[in-house]
Amino acid sequence: MKKLLAALCCAIAFCAPANAQEANVSKYKIGDYEFISLNNNTGAVSESLIINKDALEGYKTEGWNSNSLNYFVLKAGGDIILFDAGLPLTHGGKIAQRLQEAGLKPGDINIIAITHMHGDHIGGLLDAQGQPLFTNAKVFIAKEEAAHWQNNQDANAVLEAYKNQITLFKKNAKITGAVKSAPLFGHTPGHSGFIIKSNGQQVYVLGDVTHLTAQFANPEISVSYDVDPKAALKTRKNILAKVARQKNTHIAGMHIYKPGLGKLAKAEKGYTFTPAN
Ligand SMILES: [Zn+2]
């Protein structure tokens, strides 16, 4: 896990939450479903990781570089779906603890939808012994994503441990009746979002389309974690424009400051993001 951890440890600075009063588990109603945000930790992105520092000009307002590590659970009909699993339990990952705080056990999860295979998203799939933590879950990963990481030791440990539970999906796949995938390639070659729809409400789970708050005000701001920064930028601009046009739509991001769920609106320049209560 070392190589992936090196990349992700820059992404998440382990500093104290800006507001310790904020909950680490927040529950919402989306149509007929329950959507639960679980926060692993909060932090700030170092300016040294911004690859186009000129884009920051005028955008370094308070909290500009705040971020989080989140994962989400959707209760939809009989399914309990987990979106990403955070860091390895041996490296600061809190998935088991947060699930417990939400009244859930790893064995309750029957579907896991993975946005991409960076260590801060798949590390929590394994227990301390490197075995599957989620023994009852089918795990969905984009075909392109698994292909890209198959020679990476850490990603391969997950693919190997879950080999009897994994489904590799193609673009715009139906994951369950409640969830569809959407290709958001760029951050990684198979980076995928997920669209949840229920009773006139929608959530777009956007994975790592953004890493810091200022990217809403100026989507041009780019970070060094993107495997293909140009493609990641194009994807970010397209998807933010699309969701900002849609009504009754929330976005959820793994690195949006907790709870990581909120609404996006077009502003004069860029967008404003309003967190869910
Ligand atoms: Zn990430």
pLDDT in tens, 203-219: 999 999 999 999 999 99
Q: What is the pLDDT at residue 277?
A: 87
Higher-pLDDT residue of 19, 106:
106
> How many H-runs (helices) and E-runs (strands) does the chain carry?
7, 13
Full residue range of the structural domain in which residue 263 is found:
26-275
**Nearest CA among 257, 262, 277 for reference residue 69:** 257
Model confidence at 190: pLDDT above 70: yes
Chain-centroid distance, C-alpha 33? 19
Please give the average per-residue pLDDT across 46-71, as a whole number.
97
**Nearest-angstrom CA–CA distance, 225 and 184:** 15
* Main-chain dihedrals φ then ψ at residue 29, nearest 5 degrees: -105, 125
Answer whether residue 6 is part of any domain.
no
Ligand 1 centroid–CA 145 distance in Å is 14
Ligand 1 centroid–CA 228 distance in Å is 14
Ligand 1 centroid–CA 117 distance in Å is 9
Span 93-103, pLDDT tens digits: 999 999 999 99
Answer whether residue 2 is part of any domain.
no
Model confidence at 4: pLDDT above 70: no
Answer whether residue 192 is part of any domain.
yes
Answer whether residue 17 is part of any domain.
no
Report the CATH number that the domain containing residue 35 is assigned in CATH: 3.60.15.10
Span 147-178, pLDDT tens digits: 999 999 999 999 999 999 999 999 999 999 99
Find the helix or strand (DSSP H, E) in which 15 lies. Answer: none
Model confidence at 262: pLDDT above 50: yes
Answer whether residue 8 is part of any domain.
no
Answer whether residue 15 is part of any domain.
no
Span 29-52, pLDDT tens digits: 999 999 999 999 999 999 999 999
Ligand 1 centroid–CA 118 distance in Å is 6
**Nearest-angstrom CA–CA distance, 160 and 173:** 23
Confidence label for 19 from pLDDT (cuts 50, 70 and 90): very low
Ligand 1 centroid–CA 269 distance in Å is 26
Ligand 1 centroid–CA 254 distance in Å is 7
Answer whether residue 3 is part of any domain.
no
Find the helix or strand (DSSP H, E) in which 112 lies. Answer: strand 111-113
Ligand 1 centroid–CA 68 distance in Å is 9
The pTM of the full predicted model, rounded to 2 decimals, is 0.92
Q: How many domains does the chain have?
A: 1
3-state DSSP call for residue 244? helix
Ligand 1 centroid–CA 249 distance in Å is 22
| Structure tokens, 118 | 């960076």
